[in-house]
Amino acid sequence: MSPVLGRQRGATLLIALVMLLLLSLLAASSMRQTLLQARSGGAALENTQAFNAAEAALREGERRLVALSQQPSFTAFSAGFASCSESVPAVRSAFAKAPTGDLCILTKASDLNTGALTQTWAAAALQASGTDPTARTVAYRGSDGSASFAQTPRWVVTAIGSSSVDVSAPATNLFRITAVAQDRGKRFPVILQSVVALEVP
């Protein structure tokens, strides 16, 4: 075998090894990218689930508040209560047929009108276990009371006050509804708020 041919075979081997190394690096990079995409996709899914649970709790709170406003005794409850342990049984007694879920209306002094107050409330709400009302939250168990969640969403209504200046017109009371939910991995808390205006005869 000629020396030139031997050198060419050695160069071919070296080039093949470099190409194999490059392909291995490319495959490892591709696998890492796929893994990151799967993780971010899973995180996005969990965040969406937490958002949907918080939104469902918020809408249920709005629905229950509107249902209470149609009861003759709504005026007695419109200022709110000091705690949910007082509010839940009192509000339940306002209905001829007991509702499937709880409704807690807290006083204006408990209003969650700043980010710091809301964050503090949410942190405490997410520590609650079970479905019983706490001092400042009630559990969302679905509109029919049969839903189950890995982490039960919690919500509360706070009385904000009246927006009416005309004493001859019915008073319009404002209520802030705050809901919080968290994903199964407890990484993404979602807090939602809405303000509902209801006429008090």
Beta carbons within 10 angstroms of residue 81's beta carbon: 19
Contact criterion met (CB below 8 Å) for 67 and 74: no
What's residue 193's pLDDT?
95
Confidence category of residue 34, pLDDT binned at 50, 70, 90: confident
2-17: per-residue pLDDT in tens? 555 555 667 788 888 8
* Mean per-residue pLDDT, 84-110: 84
Q: What is the pLDDT of residues 15-29, one digit of tens each?
A: 888 888 888 888 888
Higher pLDDT, 9 or 172: 172
**Dist. CA 144–CA 41, nearest whole Å:** 31
In angstroms, the CA 80 to CA 157 distance is 9
Q: How far is CA 162 from CA 147, 166, 169, 185, in A?
A: 34, 11, 12, 40
Asked if residue 181 lies in contact with residue 51, where contact means CB atoms within 8 angstroms, the answer is yes
Bridge partners, 181 (sequence order): 190
pLDDT at 121: 92
**In the prediction, which pLDDT does 5 show?**
52
Q: Which residue has the higher pLDDT, 28 or 147?
A: 28
pLDDT score of 132: 81
The answer to whether the CB of 179 falls within 8 A of the CB of 153 is yes
Residues ≥6 apart with Cβ < 8 Å to 176: 111, 112, 113, 157, 158, 160, 193, 194, 195
pLDDT of residue 134: 84
Residue 56 contacts residue 139 (beta carbons within 8 Å): no
Round to whole Å and give the CA distance between 106 and 81. 5
